[in-house]
Structure 1
Amino acid sequence: MENLNRQLLTNGFKFNDDLKIGTKKTLSEKIVQFGEGNFLRAFVDYMFDEINEQGLFEGGITLIQPIPGGDFLRNVLNEQEGLYTLIARGREDGKEVAAKRLITCVNRCINPYVDLDTYNTCAKNPELRFVVSNTTEAGISWKEEDMITDQPQDSFPAKVCNFLYVRFKEFNGDMNKGLVFIPCELIDDNGKTLKKYVLQHAANWKLGDEFINWIENACIFTSTLVDRIVTGYPREEAEALCEQFGYKDNAIDTSEIFHTWVIEGPAELEKELPFPKAGLKVIFTPDVKPYKKRKVRILNGAHTCSVLGAFLAGHNLVGELMADKMFYKYLEDALNNEIIPAIVSPELTLEDLKGFADAVFDRFQNPFIKHKLLDISLNSTSKWEARVLHTINEYYAQKKELPKILTFSFAAYLAFYRGTEIREGALIGKRGDEEYLIKDAPEVLEFYKNAWTGVDVTDKAQIAELVTKVCGNKDFWLGEDLNTELGNFPTVVADHLYNILNNGVVSEVEKVLA
């Protein structure tokens, strides 16, 4: 079997008919990408590949390894001359679909820790225009000890400042040589935060007002929202897939079909990056916040309001939850009757929200993704606060009544967090005779351990007292006392919790849906 490389593109190799192939042109490097991992390759690089193939753009990508070590993937990508196969699989409009693509837009991968000169040369490239990144949530952080004399610097913002300074000097501060930054790190205002830290380094390193002015006025820092589940290298299937392809690919990437990229920046960026024209779900907007709200409340909110109850009912995977007719209806009612009505607005129309919710149902039923409920349960306290409580507040403010399912989800959360022993950093819960690990911040676990200790679950008064204690913990709930802010919320929750613990979660869900 031949190894994947660019010779296969030109020597008459017979690729499978169901494999789409990106452009075979030699592409000048217009994009530098900090991060060579699965997510960016299945998301950003896929999109650049599409607009290259459709003749709407012509630019190659240089990948930069953002941290030392972990050279395996860099070596593989360079051996394959940047080529790799992406398989996007899932459900769309209720049907199972798969799309295979040979990505050709990546030219090379550089490790600045071992090849600093080549890395710095990228900054001097007159054709370079865009910088994409995914250096994890911790990547965009302030590290005061980073210095201009460190080569390379440790933190990503410091690397960016140095990279820009090299470019600024190379082109004598030419205002036409600024760069557009499109960070994909999962933090709020990722672009604004990155810019703030870059400017802070420039000031600390005393690089001069002219350079700071150039950053401010020649460069663009967008903020973004990214949405695609990437499942990465399909280890168990890789050998069989390569047999299907007819070539050996050691950098196969897999993802779901769904994708959305929201980019907050100047409107003219869409002309430079015509992703929507290629049929890609990329939105250029002056404000990313409504789209973040849509994702957090519908996609994440649907997870958080359902998975804990479903786990207690005996399910272990999202797919199992969706195959259960009762929980399917639970999610339908939560989204259509409670979440969407609470957040509809001029920016988020009913049609848009329902379309997004329909896509969520397809995504949750993706047979190629085995999403464990216990994995989703991590840090459920802060998740419930951010993803569900805001919606309850808005629903209650509009209708002066509690949303039935979202209120029940709080009782399911409390039942899931029932435990009186912390072991190796986790609170120990029990589902029947089976132990499970409740993972959250140490102070949260300690609170619930103390709250549940000595509680007789058959005593309604003790259950009510526990609910009152939890609802009154303002540190957990947006600074609110849920005993006083939401009418009879604690009473309803206490009734649900008592019934879950004494009659089972299935019986109580059936009552809620009746």
Structure 2
Amino acid sequence: MQNATTVTLMQFGIGRFLLAHVDLFASQARDEHGSDIRIIAVQSSDRAAGRTKAHALARDPVYPVRMRGRRDGELIDTTHQVDSITTALVASEAWAEVERRFRDEVTHVVSNTSEAGYQVPAGDGPRRDCPESFPAKLTHLLKTRFDAGRPGVTLLPCELLTDNALKLKDVILELAQAHYDDDGFMAWLERDCVWAVTLVDRIVSAELDPVGAVAEPYGLWAIQQTPGLVMPFSHPDVHLVDDIRPFERRKLHLLNLAHTWLVARVLDLGLGEEVTLVRQAIDDPRLGDELEKMLRQEVVPVLDQELPGMELEDYVDSILDRFRNPWLDHRLGDIAQNHPQKLERRLAPVVQMAARQGRDVPRLASAFPSTASASTSSLSST
């Protein structure tokens, strides 16, 4: 029987992001705070590369995460041996074991599936032996746990979707309604399970063979307060927040805005052949100096009115640190994809906020006319 304070987290997906984010946080929490957390890593899809990684994790669940970059103005190049994963399973090979563990041990669920991860293909469903899709698998496992009279679980999806937990909950409820005639199960999903919206932020730039990752030092896992929520562990980069939306807006209108503004500025100055990486741009006075002035003098005062108490100046410091990472080849050509749409989503709302506040934001607003006739094809993404 597990200790009541033990957190057993089942994660669906063993990609490099979870390895260097949630799993790293959990390992550091074990080391620094004595947190009793165990992670069961499940390779949900049947991809050959995923199976190979899961088998390697099963043989040796301790793996390195190398942190390379800048944080708080300091250059960091360290390696942490992550030891929070205690079991690694391939769903298609060990479904009975996945079922048993989920039924008897799990307290929390984490996922980081592909962009199409919440979709359920035709013919798939939770009544199949080892369903194909992640939502069908999860519905099956939740029903197994409910039928065993077990408590509900806390679900902490990490997909980069607005209201990710609520979207996942809607899919699960729809599958449960369609495939099980069980009002009690529906009530249990609503009443006993906790669906917590989260926001993740960290660049994990490379995999290590056979298992491991290279990541930037900056990391954020914001989890929205939800009735019944018990946090899986304590970590300085894991934040319980009353509302996730200010964190989403801060990221969109500072970090993402800065990326897209740099693209616009590079195009305007005709520097696409000369400056191809974010770290090159931030070190160029024509770009980096102007970027910092635009963020601190124009964007931060506007957002301070909209997002009070969000420590925006500190966040700008972290952005500049991240952009100056000497080991990260973040290509401006990649950021330039769908540039007009990004201008409208990331920059235009801040210009509109500034107008409502009676503020001038000339550096920010210059991104629009200067790029009206520019072609993002002048920025190479290769």
TM-score by length of 1: 0.68
The match for 1:76 among 29, 34, 56 is: 56
The match for 1:167 among 132, 145, 165 is: 145
Query: Is 1:349 paired with 2:309?
Result: yes
Alignment of 1:181-192 (within 5 A): 181-192=155-166
Cα distance, 1:188 vs structure 2? 0.5
Given that residues 103 and 141 in structure 2 are in contact (C-alpha distance below 8 angstroms), is that contact kept between their aligned partners in structure 1?
no
Given that residues 127 and 140 in structure 2 are in contact (C-alpha distance below 8 angstroms), is that contact kept between their aligned partners in structure 1?
no
Cα distance, 1:135 vs structure 2? 0.3
Given that residues 16 and 213 in structure 2 are in contact (C-alpha distance below 8 angstroms), is that contact kept between their aligned partners in structure 1?
yes
Given that residues 66 and 80 in structure 2 are in contact (C-alpha distance below 8 angstroms), is that contact kept between their aligned partners in structure 1?
yes
Given that residues 88 and 254 in structure 1 are in contact (C-alpha distance below 8 angstroms), is that contact kept between their aligned partners in structure 2?
yes
State the partner residue of 1:417. Answer: 375
Compared CA separation, residues 343 and 29, structure 1 to 2 (3 A): closer
In the alignment, the residues of structure 2 paired with residue 197 and residue 268 of structure 1 have an alpha-carbon distance, to the nearest angstrom, of 21
Cα deviation code 1:47-66 (max 9, x no counterpart): 11122223442121111112
Query: Is 1:361 paired with 2:320?
Result: yes
Q: Secondary structure at the match of 2:79?
A: strand
Query: Is 1:35 paired with 2:9?
Result: no
In the alignment, the residues of structure 2 paired with residue 251 and residue 29 of structure 1 have an alpha-carbon distance, to the nearest angstrom, of 24
Compared CA separation, residues 107 and 308, structure 1 to 2 (3 A): same
Given that residues 232 and 254 in structure 1 are in contact (C-alpha distance below 8 angstroms), is that contact kept between their aligned partners in structure 2?
yes
Question: Structure 1 vs Structure 2: percent identity of aligned residues?
Answer: 27
Given that residues 64 and 110 in structure 1 are in contact (C-alpha distance below 8 angstroms), is that contact kept between their aligned partners in structure 2?
yes
State the partner residue of 1:298. Answer: 254
In the alignment, the residues of structure 1 paired with residue 145 and residue 255 of structure 2 have an alpha-carbon distance, to the nearest angstrom, of 41
Compared CA separation, residues 437 and 73, structure 1 to 2 (3 A): closer
Given that residues 309 and 416 in structure 1 are in contact (C-alpha distance below 8 angstroms), is that contact kept between their aligned partners in structure 2?
no
Query: Is 1:231 paired with 2:231?
Result: no
In the alignment, the residues of structure 2 paired with residue 366 and residue 318 of structure 1 have an alpha-carbon distance, to the nearest angstrom, of 9
State the partner residue of 1:407. Answer: 365
Compared CA separation, residues 53 and 68, structure 1 to 2 (3 A): same
The match for 2:130 among 152, 155, 172 is: 152
Deviates more, 1:362-371 or 1:376-385: 376-385
Query: Is 1:378 paired with 2:337?
Result: yes
In the alignment, the residues of structure 2 paired with residue 170 and residue 413 of structure 1 have an alpha-carbon distance, to the nearest angstrom, of 60
State the partner residue of 1:59. Answer: 37
Query: Is 1:98 paired with 2:77?
Result: yes
Give 1:398's aligned amino acid. Answer: Q
State the partner residue of 2:23. Answer: 45
Given that residues 194 and 229 in structure 2 are in contact (C-alpha distance below 8 angstroms), is that contact kept between their aligned partners in structure 1?
no
In the alignment, the residues of structure 2 paired with residue 369 and residue 348 of structure 1 have an alpha-carbon distance, to the nearest angstrom, of 31
Alignment of 1:429-508 (within 5 A): 429-430=377-378, 436=380
State the partner residue of 2:92. Answer: 113
The match for 1:222 among 186, 193, 196 is: 196
State the partner residue of 2:242. Answer: 286
Cα distance, 1:29 vs structure 2? 7.1
Alignment of 1:262-281 (within 5 A): 262-266=222-226, 269=229, 272-275=231-234, 278=235, 280-281=236-237
Structure 2 unaligned segments of length 5 or more: list them.
Answer: none
State the partner residue of 2:212. Answer: 252
In the alignment, the residues of structure 1 paired with residue 98 and residue 7 of structure 2 have an alpha-carbon distance, to the nearest angstrom, of 13
Give 1:349's aligned amino acid. Answer: G
* Higher relative contact order, structure no. (Cα contacts within 8 Å, ≥ 6 residues apart): 2
Cα distance, 1:346 vs structure 2? 7.0
In the alignment, the residues of structure 2 paired with residue 437 and residue 300 of structure 1 have an alpha-carbon distance, to the nearest angstrom, of 17
Give 2:287's aligned amino acid. Answer: F
Given that residues 290 and 348 in structure 1 are in contact (C-alpha distance below 8 angstroms), is that contact kept between their aligned partners in structure 2?
no
Q: Secondary structure at the match of 1:257?
A: coil
Q: Secondary structure at the match of 1:54?
A: helix
TM-score by length of 2: 0.91
In the alignment, the residues of structure 1 paired with residue 277 and residue 327 of structure 2 have an alpha-carbon distance, to the nearest angstrom, of 12
- Rg: which structure is higher? 1
Give 2:59's aligned amino acid. Answer: E
Q: Secondary structure at the match of 1:344?
A: helix
Give 1:389's aligned amino acid. Answer: A
Q: Secondary structure at the match of 1:97?
A: strand
Cα distance, 1:67 vs structure 2? 1.1
Alignment of 1:3-22 (within 5 A): none
Structure 1 unaligned segments of length 5 or more: list them.
Answer: 1-26, 235-248, 419-428, 439-514
Q: Secondary structure at the match of 2:372?
A: helix
Cα distance, 1:409 vs structure 2? 1.1
Given that residues 265 and 286 in structure 1 are in contact (C-alpha distance below 8 angstroms), is that contact kept between their aligned partners in structure 2?
yes
Give 1:342's aligned amino acid. Answer: V
In the alignment, the residues of structure 2 paired with residue 62 and residue 166 of structure 1 have an alpha-carbon distance, to the nearest angstrom, of 17
Compared CA separation, residues 372 and 346, structure 1 to 2 (3 A): closer
Query: Is 1:198 paired with 2:154?
Result: no
Cα distance, 1:252 vs structure 2? 2.6
Cα distance, 1:232 vs structure 2? 2.5
Q: Secondary structure at the match of 1:325?
A: coil
Q: Secondary structure at the match of 2:69?
A: strand
Given that residues 263 and 282 in structure 1 are in contact (C-alpha distance below 8 angstroms), is that contact kept between their aligned partners in structure 2?
yes
Compared CA separation, residues 293 and 430, structure 1 to 2 (3 A): closer
Compared CA separation, residues 262 and 28, structure 1 to 2 (3 A): closer
Given that residues 334 and 381 in structure 2 are in contact (C-alpha distance below 8 angstroms), is that contact kept between their aligned partners in structure 1?
no
Deviates more, 1:287-296 or 1:138-147: 138-147
Give 2:214's aligned amino acid. Answer: T
State the partner residue of 1:315. Answer: 275
Given that residues 224 and 263 in structure 1 are in contact (C-alpha distance below 8 angstroms), is that contact kept between their aligned partners in structure 2?
yes
The match for 1:393 among 352, 358, 368 is: 352
Given that residues 74 and 110 in structure 1 are in contact (C-alpha distance below 8 angstroms), is that contact kept between their aligned partners in structure 2?
yes
